[in-house]
Amino acid sequence: MNDLNAAINFVPTFVLVFFRMAGLMIMSPLFGSTRVPRRVKVMFASVAALGAVGAIPQPVQFPSSIWELTLAIGAEICFGLAMGLIVSLTFIAAQWAGEMIGQQMGLNLSEVFDPQFGQSGSLIGDLYFMLTMVLFLLIGGHRILISAVQESLITLPPLSLVFDAPLFEILLDMLTAATILALRLAAPMFFTMLVVDLVMGCIGRAMPQFNIMTAGLSIRAIVGILVLILGITLSSEALQASLADQLALVHQLWGHHGR
C-alpha cells in the first residue's frame, strides 16, 4: 500500500516537472535547435525530469479539476520558456549583430539555413551564432541551465508559480541589453564602413572615370573581413561575459523568488 501511494504521488510531480523541462527544451539554446529530433527532446526532458523529481521537498497533489491541471501545465511550460529565453537572448543578439555586419559587408546576398531558429540566416550571422554556441559549451552553460531548473524546483515547486511584474520587467531589461549588445558588436563595422564610404566618395569625386561602384563591393568585403578577424576576440569576450551574466541571473532570479 505504501508503494502504491508513493507511485500515485510520484505521477503528478513527474508530469509537472516534465512540462517545465519541455518548456526549457523548446526555447533554450542547443536543446531548442530544430536539428535535434523531437523524440530526442522528449526523451531528454523525461530523463531530466526523472532525475529532478527528487529535488522537490514534498510530493505534489494532483489538481482536482481539468482546468486546474491545464493551468498548472501551462504555467510550467511558460516557466521553462522564460528560463530558456533569458539565455537565448545572447544568441539572438549575436544573430542580429552578424546580420547587420553581413549587410554592411555585402555578404547577405547569400543565405543559409539556420538550425536554431529554423529559417534562413546570413553567413556572418551563423558565424556569430556558432561562436556563441562554442562559448556556451566551454563555460558549461548547458549544465548550468539544467542545474538551474533543479534549483527552481526547490524554490518554486510545481503549483506554486507566480508570474509577477518584476519577472516581466527583468525579461524586458534583458531584451534591451540584448539589443545594446548587438549594436556594440556591430558598431566597429558600422564605423569602418562609414569611413570606407567617405574614402570611396572622395575617390569618385577625384577620378570620375574610375568605376567606384564596381570596386566598392570588393573593397567593402576585404576591409570588412579584416575588421571581422581583428574584432573576433573582443566579440568573444563580450559574448562570454553576456552568457555568464545571464546564467548567473537565472540562479539569482529563482533564489530571489524563493526567499
DSSP structure string for 93-157: HHHHHHHHHHHHHT-TTSEEEETTTTEEEEHHHHHHHHHHHHHHHHTTHHHHHHHHHHHHHHHS-
pLDDT confidence of 76, banded at 50, 70, 90?
confident
Most confident of 32-41, 71-80, 213-222: 71-80
The pLDDT value recorded for residue 9 is: 63
Q: Is 182 in contact with 113 (CB distance < 8 Å)?
A: no
Which H or E element spans position 4?
A: helix 2-27
Q: Is the pTM of this model over 0.85?
A: no
- Please count the residues of the chain: 259
Q: How far is CA 254 from the centre of its chain?
A: 18
Arithmetic mean of pLDDT, 2-11: 59
The pLDDT value recorded for residue 1 is: 46
Where b means 16+ CB within 10 Å and e means fewer, 159-168 reads bebeeeeebe
Q: Is 189 in contact with 101 (CB distance < 8 Å)?
A: yes
Answer yes or no: is pLDDT of 182 > 70.
Answer: yes
DSSP E strands: which ranges in 158-247? none
State how far the Cα of 98 lies from the Cα of 51, in Å rounded to an integer: 38
| Count of beta carbons in the 10 Å neighbourhood of residue 213 | 9
Residue 59, SS3?
coil
> Mean pLDDT over all residues of the chain?
77
**All 3 cell numbers of residue 229?**
578577424
The pLDDT value recorded for residue 127 is: 84
Rg (CA), the chain: 23
Helical pair 212-258 and 66-105, crossing angle rounded to 10 deg: 150
> Residues 105-138: pLDDT tens digits?
776 655 555 555 555 567 788 888 888 888 888 8
> Residues 23-72: pLDDT tens digits?
888 887 777 776 677 788 888 888 888 877 776 766 666 667 778 778 88
**Count of domains for the chain:** 1
Domain that holds residue 156: 2-258
| Count of beta carbons in the 10 Å neighbourhood of residue 58 | 8
> Residues 139-150: pLDDT tens digits?
888 888 888 877
Residues ≥6 apart with Cβ < 8 Å to 21: 44, 45, 46, 48, 49, 52, 80, 149
Arithmetic mean of pLDDT, 206-220: 73
The pLDDT value recorded for residue 257 is: 46
